[in-house]
Amino acid sequence: MYTNIKTDIALTAISRLIQEESHNSPQHPSHTKALINALHIVFTSSIVKFGDTYWRQISGTGMGIAPAPPWATIFYALHEQCFVPKWNTHLIFYKRFIDDIIGIWLPHPDTDTDTALWLAFCNDLQLWHGLEWTISPRSDSCNFMDLALTISPRGNIETNLFEKSQNLYLYIPPGSAHPKAMIKGLIFGNTLRIMRLCSNEDDTTAHLSNFRTRLLARGYPQSLLEPLFMQAIVHAKAFITNQKNDHLRQPPPLNASTKIFLHLEFHPEDPKPQAIHHLWQEHVSEPEGATPLRNMCNLFKEKVNLDHLTIAYSRPPNLRNRFSVRDISGRGRDVSSYLVE
């Protein structure tokens, strides 16, 4: 989808939308102009380095540009606003995540009429500045993202976890230089994902068993996995129950953030997070006999209001970074030597 979005058309359409929205909430008119100018800079000045050459992308949205996902979402949404409502008699459900669409179609009683209506709807999908969609045949089941959905004979929608057959499940092995809590986070997160996505208990059990088997195959001992899976299941059940009751809770008050982040490259022989937090508390946050950091003022006479340190780890270079080098300079002829005028 990204590479087929015509830059000039998208810039005009999205800029117009931003200007229209600014008229509805004119508190920050200068931000509107700055945002539009920024979009022009980002989407007309995308430079790609290849060997010893540099290329400017003149059409299409560059892969990896930070605003690309909302840019693509908004661009096609301008078309959806026009054509989706006219199909609400038959299109009773319609959702899109960037370039993946799912919908529920209520067929017309007459088969020929229904076929004509469906083809007309499919045609409407394609009528937006050259974007082309691959549309699967209508069915009682489909795969959307990581979810497999089926309309049962009773009319219920059943859900299951969808996994691609090419997935090798190469989870990080236990000997890798990662924080010890990594495996706990992996098990807790994936267990919750499985239990939320599977509506059938047998499917949940099967996926959890497969997940455990794959971790064993990666070298994790059963003595480590068993208690973590038991804890993860209890945690997931509690989370799902609490989520169902979230509408009964009062939203938490909006407070200014009191966190400060310390970014570190992880190394297993570095001081433990507990030791770093202790040093932070002892020498920075609340030093003995001195003013706590949260009560100190900055150059603008405003309180610093920081009292919580969060350590954010990034991974060090791994074997892939060492052996799969993307820099091709010095490996034969320069790329520019292949260019023919």
Closest CA to 309 of 289, 272, 284: 284
* The pLDDT of residue 317: 85
Report the pLDDT value the prediction gives residue 30, as an integer from 0 to 100. Answer: 64
Task: Give the count of beta carbons closer than 10 Å to the beta carbon of residue 184.
Answer: 14
Counting residues of the chain whose pLDDT is more than 70, the rounded percentage is 93
Q: Are strands 308-314 and 53-56 parallel, antiparallel or unpaired?
A: unpaired
Q: Strand pairing partners for 105?
A: 91
Helical (H) or strand (E) element with 255 = none
Other Cβ atoms less than 10 A from the Cβ of 123: the count is: 10
CB 98 within 8 A of CB 1: yes
First to last CA, the chain: 31
Contact (Cβ atoms closer than 8 angstroms) between residue 304 and residue 296: yes
Q: Fill in the DSSP letter of residue 284.
A: I
pLDDT tens digits along 25-74: 766 566 888 999 999 999 998 888 888 889 998 889 988 888 999 999 99
What residues contact residue 103 under an 8 Å CB cut-off, 6+ apart?
A: 91, 93, 94, 95
- Tokens read off for 262: 């310390």
Place of tokens 């989520």: 243
Name, in order, each residue with C-beta under 8 angstroms of 162's C-beta and a sequence gap of 6 or more. 143, 144, 145, 146, 147, 148
Using CA atoms, how far apart are residues 105 and 94, in angstroms rounded to an integer?
A: 9
Where the chain has pLDDT below 70, the residues are: 26-30, 246-256, 325-330, 341
pTM of the predicted model as reported, rounded to 2 decimal places: 0.79
What local confidence, expressed as pLDDT, does residue 28 receive? 58
Residue type, 263: H
Whether the CB-CB separation of 5 and 46 falls below 8 Å is answered with no
Q: How wide is the angle at C-alpha 117 spanned by C-alphas 115 and 121, nearest 5°?
A: 115
Instruction: Please state, in angstroms and rounded to a whole number, the distance separating the CA atoms of residues 151 and 217.
Output: 35
Task: Give the C-alpha separation, 281 to 171, whole Å.
Answer: 36
Contact 273, 261 (CB under 8 A): no
Coil, helix or strand at residue 216:
helix
Q: What local confidence, expressed as pLDDT, does residue 246 receive?
A: 67
CA distance 47 to 64: 12
User: pLDDT tens-digit profile of 232-248?
Assistant: 999 999 999 988 776 66
Angle subtended at Cα 61 by Cα 127 and Cα 65, rounded to the nearest 5 degrees: 140
Other beta carbons less than 10 A from residue 220's beta carbon: 20
Judging by DSSP bridges, how do beta strands 157-161 and 259-265 pair with one another? unpaired
Give the pLDDT confidence score for residue 251 in this predicted structure: 65
Burial 185-196 (b: 16+ CB within 10 A, else e): ebbbebbbebbb
What is residue 89's three-state secondary structure? coil
Distance CA 248, CA 74 (A): 33
Euclidean distance between CA atoms 208 and 230, whole angstroms: 11
pLDDT at 177: 87
Q: In the chain, which residue ranges form alpha helices assigned H by DSSP?
A: 7-24, 29-44, 68-83, 111-126, 182-197, 201-217, 222-244, 273-280, 319-323
